[in-house]
Chains A and B, each alone.
Chain A
Amino acid sequence: MSYTISLTVNGDRRDVTFEDARVTLLDLLRERLALPGTKKGCDRGQCGACTVLVDGRRINSCLTLAVTLDGADVTTIEGLARGDVLHPVQASFVEHDGFQCGYCTPGQIMSAVGLIAEGDVGTDPERIREGMSGNLCRCAAYHGITEAVLDAARRMTDDKTRKSA
């Protein structure tokens, strides 16, 4: 049996057909859609390297079957920058040294974008650490990561306030 789904990935509509319903979103992105920015760490929900946004919410793409996503809107790390202009969270990770080897970074950044959009944690570092706890970093760049998310959260909240003022 083959399955055809239609989803939006980083703003582009993609129609995908596959023979095996067991394909995860992570494998679909990396192997079929040429979007290798999303990383595979553990492939079982424990590390967060594969975090993407589905309909604006962060999930582990390794635990999500692609067939479940007909009609969904997916954003990956490749979809954040606008041309050469980095997304504020990306810029903040660069500024604050929010990484060493970089392997966990796409997942950290997507998770941070989701966290800030959830709007629950504001700029409380402890709540940010809790909210980012699904993203592990083998290099233990946690200090820089928390600083980066905190700063991005501040900047993005200021921007919003300015725009609505």
Chain B
Amino acid sequence: MSYLTPTTLDAALGALSGRDTEAPVSVIAGGTDWFPAQGERAYNGTLLDVTRVEGMRGVSAVGTGWRIGGATTWSDILHADLPPAFDGLKLAAREVGSVQIQNAGTVAGNICNASPAADGVPPLLSLDAEVELTSTRGVRRLVLAEFITGVRKTARAADEIVTALYIPALSAGARGGFTKIGGRKYLVISVAMVGAVLTLSGGRIATARITVGSASPVALRMGDLENALVGADLAEALERVTPERLAALSPISDIRGSAEFRGEAVVEAIRRTLTQIMKGQAHG
């Protein structure tokens, strides 16, 4: 195995450009998904560590929105000064493994790994996140829902690096929330999780973006529910969270829970998230 740790984006992209499958190059950031996935096999390709590439780390305001650099860790998110719409992403950051994992693991790594149980994905989908992909061929941007195409599948080409995520302008009063339901309190893989961003007007929901993870191959926005929630106060909102409005989900039965338990867990997780946000209890 060989190891590269470029400090410029040009050098990093050059290392990925024109490689064939005979000499694979794996991008790594925190390595917290990559390492355990290797198991006992000895990796013989090249590892391209992107954490020292200039400009890849940290969160900044750009134009009317926000940029999350492609090597930004979960701890960086937790300690960044961000508006309340990011409270859901911050709560998710606190749930990713342990602090040891959060200090190494990155937001980009979480979405590139594309696990159905990735905690970062529901809050990012509710923030309408876009993914910036860069290669020697150029730069393109995809909305997150188009970037993640299936279980552990993304639209990233082998020569592309996720250089940043962008969060478009948020309305001033937007508030985020997040709920993860797992088998025990900490260090769990989710049974179901919900990320939401709401704007409120006089105690009623003006706009809602609700995303459910772990209950379908790729986390999904609940469009029917989002529409149904408009105009509701908290009590009405809780009533409107019905299984019919979550029909797009396809919860599976596995070692962490039956499909039925997952379905109930989703309803409960959405209700908790709405309560969290509408009572102002979401804190990162």
Contacts and interface: CB of A to CB of B under 8 A. Distances in A.
B104 A59 contact: yes
B201 interface: no
**Interface range for A:** 20 to 34
Contact of A131 (B3, B30, B99, B101): B99
A57 B103 contact: yes
Interface string A35-58: 000000000111010010000011
Contacts of B42: 22
> From DSSP, what is the main secondary structure of chain A's interface residues?
mixed
A48 B3 CA distance: 26
Contact of A3 (B3, B36, B94, B97): B3
A60 B104 contact: yes
Interface of B: 1-3, 5, 30-32, 35-36, 42-43, 47, 49, 51, 75, 94, 97-101, 103-104, 185-187
Nearest to A135: B98
Contacts of B2: 1, 21
Contact of A45 (B3, B75, B101): B101
Contacts of A111: 99-100
A48 B100 contact: yes
A15 interface: no
A1 B4 CA distance: 12
B99 A46 contact: no
Contacts of B100: 45, 48, 51, 58-60, 111, 134
Given A21-B47, A57-B75, A64 B99 contact: no
Contacts of B35: 44-45, 62-63
B1 A21 contact: yes
A58 B32 CA distance: 14
A84 interface: no
A45 B36 contact: yes
B43 A64 contact: no
B104 A134 contact: no
Interface of A: 1, 3, 20-22, 44-46, 48, 51, 57-60, 62-65, 67-68, 70, 111, 114-115, 118, 129-131, 133-135
Contacts of B47: 21, 65
A20 B1 contact: yes
Given A21-B2, A133-B187, A68 B51 contact: yes
7 closest cross-chain pairs (CB), A and B: A134-B98, A133-B186, A21-B3, A44-B36, A134-B100, A60-B100, A57-B103
A53 to B, nearest CB: 10
Contacts of A63: 30-32, 35-36, 101, 104
B97 A114 contact: no
Nearest to B34: A63
Nearest to A66: B3
A45 B32 contact: yes
13 contacts: A3-B3, A20-B1, A21-B2, A58-B99, A59-B100, A60-B100, A63-B36, A64-B31, A65-B31, A111-B100, A133-B98, A133-B186, A134-B98
Nearest to A118: B99
Given A58-B100, A60-B100, A68-B51, A130 B186 contact: yes
A58 B105 CA distance: 12
A124 B56 CA distance: 34
Contacts of A131: 99
B110 to A, nearest CB: 14
B5 A68 contact: yes
Contacts of B32: 45, 63
A62 B36 CA distance: 10
Nearest to A57: B103
